Structure 1
């Protein structure tokens, strides 16, 4: 016998995750190309294209890449959202082929049509620390710091505790000095990776811009005459 009362009330009472999703705002699977453009339109205002390009090296149509492939391959749409964490909290989404970030936006806005104007809550301090920690590339960090590798330390824990103050790079895609110079912060007093989680954007300038930025920063303190004298002395010796 079918239960009495509204279907949605019965579904929620049964607690079945996939049925709960069906009772909520309609959201098609990410591979449903018939609705792909609507999903892309909803995602576009929220995907940090600069983050996606510098962190994953994908510059061509990052929103579509994230919608169809990126979230399945471990890519996040912006530094303050972890697909892995969201899927861990909502495991039925992966089984149903639902993009986790789009799901979060639709839940916030109430419908796919309104998702483009949704506002996600800003991470608090504790959440920002967790999100920053996930961006630390452990193998890279240990390879770049053999002293830590020999000591057997946890790379993410070390960076979050003291590595950032020492100017150590957390990942190959993050240029600490260039980032601090462009954002006018100092890594002696503020964890740049946490700052990045909260502000997003490019993780580093391109190579030429990074070099120009370093030259511009050093120029006021550089004694050209002293440098030339040192070169001449070395050459004469």
Structure 2
């Protein structure tokens, strides 16, 4: 497991929910993982939108920018922001945001989320984790 300062990535993931935007961006996570961005006083969301995803930085503990682009070469070839793609189309297509979260399994397990047509990753980050719902990550895309 990667070390982030004095914290492991798993410990950092426990911060989810503190600052999750409606598109699944976690500003607290981003600042902790990217101390250079935090030290520069740059808005974390704007940094991710303008530079971060190009640099392979992750917008939350459950979205892997490089993993998503590696798993879905069509998205990499299109040159679009992977988080934006996931939010607009990816989850509806059953794509996974990382190996820690399985979109289809989450929607199959939680029919209330599927019936409400809610982005499963955003739901998990904002509510599901705290409701005891599982992310169904199995280490694969």
TM superposition score normalised by structure 1: 0.35
Instruction: Determine the structure 2 residue equivalent to 1:198.
Output: 126
Instruction: Determine the structure 1 residue equivalent to 2:54.
Output: none
Q: Which has the higher contact order (CA 8 A, sep 6+)?
A: 2
Gaps in structure 1 of 5+ consecutive residues: 1-55, 57-65, 92-132, 208-237
- Rounded Cα–Cα distance in structure 1 between residues aligned with 2:110 and 2:65: 25
Matches within 5 A, 1:139-158: 139-158=66-85
Q: 1:206 to 1:168 in 2, by over 3 A?
A: closer
Q: CA RMSD in A?
A: 3.7
- Rounded Cα–Cα distance in structure 2 between residues aligned with 1:193 and 1:141: 14
Alpha carbons 2:99, 2:137 under 8 Å: kept: no
Q: 1:156 to 1:204 in 2, by over 3 A?
A: same
Q: Deviations over 1:122-168 (max 9, x none)?
A: xxxxxxxxxxx533211111111111111111111211222112211
Q: Deviations over 1:97-119 (max 9, x none)?
A: xxxxxxxxxxxxxxxxxxxxxxx
Q: 1:206 to 1:160 in 2, by over 3 A?
A: closer
Gaps in structure 2 of 5+ consecutive residues: 19-27, 40-58
Alpha carbons 2:96, 2:102 under 8 Å: kept: yes
Alpha carbons 1:79, 1:196 under 8 Å: kept: no
Q: CA deviation at 1:205?
A: 6.8
Moved over 6 A (4+): none
